Amino acid sequence: MSMTKTEKRIARGVYDAMYPGDPDGRVKVGVADGDIEGFLDDLGESWEWLAFTTLRVSFIVVAIASVFVARSLRRFDTLPRERRLKVLEALYTADLYFVRQLVTMQKATAGFLYGAMIRESIAPGRAPEVDHAFVQWKKLVPKHRDERSKEAA
């Protein structure tokens, strides 16, 4: 399963609002400098359909909410960072638990990508070597679920 180009653009706007770069800081790169689209494609291949569909829905909810919260018909990813954060904050403080969890899911997935990107910047020379065979997303799917998805295909 993969996301549409529109969903990926919204995801880029969300992730960039959450984890921006700081040119004057120790970690100069932001999550937008990474391969967000490739990361989302990997998630689509390895996550179960319900989890991935929920992530897709969360980006659509952000896009719709931006019209009401930011009071703009501009695409979410073209809004200034401050306005994107205002939309995300409004969703995160919503009365509905499900809506708050959508933003939490976005923050978690963005954190997976960003953490992998800045790992060496955080602890240069001290970070242990990564076993990339272990970190691959497909390896994180429990074996029984992986077999079940192969049978369904």
Per-residue pLDDT of 102-113, as tens digits, reads 999 999 999 988
| 8 Å CB contact between 54 and 102 | yes
Range of the domain at 75: 5-152
Provide the domain count of the chain: 1
Distance between CA atoms of 65 and 96, rounded to whole angstroms? 14
What are 10-56's pLDDT values in tens digits?
A: 999 999 999 988 777 766 788 888 889 999 999 999 899 999 999 99
- Which amino acid type is present at position 34? G
pLDDT for residue 1:
84
